[in-house]
Amino acid sequence: MAKNANNQANRAISEDTSSLYFLQSGDHPGLMLISTPLSGNNYNIWSRAMHMALTAKNKFGFVDGTIVQPKPDDLLYNAWVRCNSMAVSWILQAIVRDIAESLMYMSTAHEIWTDLKDRFHESNAPKIFQIKKLLSSLQQGSLDESSYYTKLRTLWDELRDFQPVSACRCGSAKEWTDYCSQECSP
C-alpha cells in the first residue's frame, strides 16, 4: 500500500507543470536544445545558450546543483533521477562526440557542467583583452549598417557578460551601470 502511495505522490509531482520535476510530453533524451554544439573553443557562448535553454525547461537547478539529490528513500528520489538523467542527455546532445564521450561516466548534470566549465571556460583577462581589441579595430567597411551594428552589439554584450556584478546597495551602482550603457551604445 505504501508503494502505491509513493507512486501516486511521484505522479502528482511530475504532472504539476510548475514543478521542477515536470517533463513535457515532447521532452526526450535526444532533444537538441541549442543548434551549435560545444566544440571547446565556443564554451562561453555555448554555456550561455545552454543556461537559457535549461532555464526555459525549468531544469537548470539540476545543472548548478541547487536541486540537490534526495536520499533513495525520499519520495522525490525517482523524479530527481529521471530529471537529472534528462538534463545529462540534453547536455551530451549539445556537445561534439569526442568531448561527450569523456563525460559518459559522470552521473549528474552538475558534475558534467562543472567539468566542462573547468576545462573550457576562458579566464576573464585574456578574453576581455581580445574583445576590446576587436571592438577597437571594428570598422563598418563593406558591411551594411545592420550587419555592422549586429557585430558591434555582440561584442559589447559579450564584454558586458564578463563584467563583475556589483552588490552595491548605495545607489552609485546605478550611475555606473548607466555610464557603461552609454559607453556601449553605438
Residue 107, C-beta contacts closer than 8 angstroms, at least 6 positions apart: 88
> Structural domain tally of the chain?
2
pLDDT of residue 2: 58
Do 97 and 133 sit in the same domain of this protein?
Answer: no
Do 113 and 140 sit in the same domain of this protein?
Answer: no
Do 30 and 103 sit in the same domain of this protein?
Answer: yes
**Domain end position, chosen among 74, 91, 120:** 120
Do 21 and 113 sit in the same domain of this protein?
Answer: yes
pLDDT of residue 100: 95
**Domain end position, chosen among 120, 146, 176:** 120
Mean pLDDT by 10 residues, the chain (186 residues): 60 73 91 93 90 95 95 94 96 96 95 93 75 87 89 83 65 66 62
Do 171 and 84 sit in the same domain of this protein?
Answer: no
| 2-15 vs 77-93: helix crossing angle, rounded to 10 | 40
Do 9 and 50 sit in the same domain of this protein?
Answer: yes
Do 78 and 34 sit in the same domain of this protein?
Answer: yes
pLDDT of residue 108: 97
Domain ranges, residue 47: 2-120
**Domain end position, chosen among 66, 95, 120:** 120
